[in-house]
Amino acid sequence: MDRRVARTRSALHAALIELMLTRGYDGTTVEEICRVAKVGRSTFYTHYADKDALKRDGLASIGRSLRQSRHETVRDDALGFVLPMLRHAREHVDHYRALAGGHGGSMALASIREILAGIVRQEMRSSRRRTVSADVAVNYLVGAFMAVLTWWLDRGAIESPEQMADAFRDLSAGYAAMHRPTRN
Amino acid sequence: MDRRVARTRSALHAALIELMLTRGYDGTTVEEICRVAKVGRSTFYTHYADKDALKRDGLASIGRSLRQSRHETVRDDALGFVLPMLRHAREHVDHYRALAGGHGGSMALASIREILAGIVRQEMRSSRRRTVSADVAVNYLVGAFMAVLTWWLDRGAIESPEQMADAFRDLSAGYAAMHRPTRN
DNA sequence: TCCTTTGTTGGACAGTCTGTCCAGGAACTG
DNA sequence: CAGTTCCTGGACAGACTGTCCAACAAAGGA
């Protein structure tokens, strides 16, 4: 690939990441991206159809990187994805924070989640059957993981990936069990 | 409150919901909202500073409604929020699907989640300590719940709230345990 | 009912961002 | 060095935003 192309594209990616961390995705304009990347606006459009195409390309790139780094550390149990993913996230903190971060724009879910968080917090000061499809289980687990990941990253990824993995495994092993000792 | 005000505002809310379900939040313009709501564009701006203000107002309204309907069915255990919330969601499917739905715009998370979902699915075909802060636990649970909720709504909320609540409780009681019987 | 208050409306406005196009100049490749 | 490919600024129409105003309509109390 032509050096100029490589330079331009990586500059654009870096600029998008940087701006997403401050203004959020929606608040970022193509003009700003080009200004930060020191690239002509015309040039932007010769590479990407629009802002979204740039983002999608970045995500695809992260996806490849993740899949590959995962391929190296194969573990064949459920939850095996946890540690590799956490490590990968820490290696690419900025990318992850920009793309998955709770900050700006990404999640309109934020406010509903906050309401819920209040409720759950309150209820945690006190507390079986089997009708589950695999689909629900997957969504449950992914949702839980993404939430924990986001939480971790937004606070600066202070804990080690290993600590977080352990925490996540504990939680997955039984949420209710974790909190019975507290009181009831 | 003046009848005209009430009429205008609820028309705007309804229009936003309707448009979010089709074009997504970001793809919806103030002009469209006004067209659908049969309201002058000038009028829009006498009520809300911008599109976001309208959305926030809608969310606040849902929040109030949820808190209230919750106040009626008090259960003092962890996970007590599950059933009331699911019922509330079903009563206001459109609102929830528009605001929390996976469809358009809301979650840039979508693609990362898909990558992860693939991985988890693959690993589910096969596999204790305690270092968890309460914060992580809350985020874990909320994330899991929101994910299940979104999944449920996006598929049309076919299952009953009770079924979903049971499923969620089972999962929370121990994800790993749920899937050991499958093979290993 | 009448009158005052309050809402609604279309139109006009400047400003921002988008996506497209082009022609001149720069950088790469062989 | 030559030919190809890329970068660039500038110009363009089009869409959307947020603000303002003057005319009109509806509400609700006296």
Tally of structural domains, chain B: 2
Model confidence pLDDT, tens digit, residues A73-117: 656 566 888 998 899 999 999 988 887 665 543 555 566 766 777
Question: Is residue A176 classed exposed, middle or buried when 0-12, 13-18 and 19+ CB atoms within 10 A define those classes?
Answer: middle
**Interval A17-28 mean pLDDT:** 91
**Whether B52 contacts chain A with CB within 8 A:** no
Q: Is the pLDDT of residue A16 over 80?
A: yes
Instruction: Clarify whether residues A55 and A86 are in a common domain.
Output: no
Q: Which of A76, A143, A171 minimises the CB distance to B148?
A: A143
Contacts of B67 in chain A (CB under 8 A): 115
Instruction: Clarify whether residues A54 and A78 are in a common domain.
Output: no
Q: Which residue in B82, B173, B178 sits closest to A79, CA to CA?
A: B178
Determine which of A45-59, A164-178, B169-183 has the lowest per-residue pLDDT on average. Answer: B169-183
Instruction: Clarify whether residues A101 and A178 are in a common domain.
Output: yes
Q: Is the pLDDT of residue A43 over 70?
A: yes
The average confidence (pLDDT) of chain A is 82
Instruction: Clarify whether residues B15 and B82 are in a common domain.
Output: no
Q: Considering A36, A59, A82, which residue would you say is the last residue of a domain?
A: A59
**In which domain, by residue range, is B6 found?**
1-72
Closest nucleotide to residue B27 (Cα to C1')? D16
Q: Is the pLDDT of residue A50 over 90?
A: yes
pLDDT at residue A44 in the model: 98
Instruction: Clarify whether residues B39 and B130 are in a common domain.
Output: no
- Of the two residues A130 and B120, the one the predictor is more confident about is B120
Instruction: Clarify whether residues A46 and A84 are in a common domain.
Output: no
Q: Considering A59, A82, A107, which residue would you say is the last residue of a domain?
A: A59
Model confidence pLDDT, tens digit, residues B137-155: 888 988 899 889 989 998 8
pLDDT at residue B148 in the model: 92
DSSP string computed for B118-184: HHHHHHTT--------HHHHHHHHHHHHHHHHHHHHHTT--S-HHHHHHHHHHHHT-HHHHHSTT--
Whose tokens are 């994805």? That residue is: A81
Residues 112-131 of A with CB under 8 A from B: 112-113, 115-117, 119-121, 123-124, 126-131
Q: In percent, how much of chain B has pLDDT > 90?
A: 43
Contacts of A99 in chain B (CB under 8 A): 108-109, 112
Q: Considering B27, B45, B72, which residue would you say is the last residue of a domain?
A: B72
| Other CB atoms within 10 A of residue A40 CB | 11
Closest-CA distance, A54 to chain B, in angstroms, reads: 13
A24: domain CATH number is: 1.10.10.60
Q: Is the pLDDT of residue B101 over 70?
A: no
Instruction: Clarify whether residues B68 and B9 are in a common domain.
Output: yes
Instruction: Clarify whether residues B40 and B65 are in a common domain.
Output: yes
Assess contact for B175 and A176: CB atoms under 8 A.
no
pLDDT at residue A159 in the model: 96
Closest Cα in chain B to A105: B106
Sign of CA dihedral B176, A150, A118, B107: negative
Asked whether residue A65 is assigned to any structural domain, the reply reads no
Instruction: Clarify whether residues A169 and A88 are in a common domain.
Output: yes
Asked whether residue A66 is assigned to any structural domain, the reply reads no
Q: Is the pLDDT of residue B159 over 80?
A: yes
Model confidence pLDDT, tens digit, residues B2-20: 999 999 999 999 999 999 9
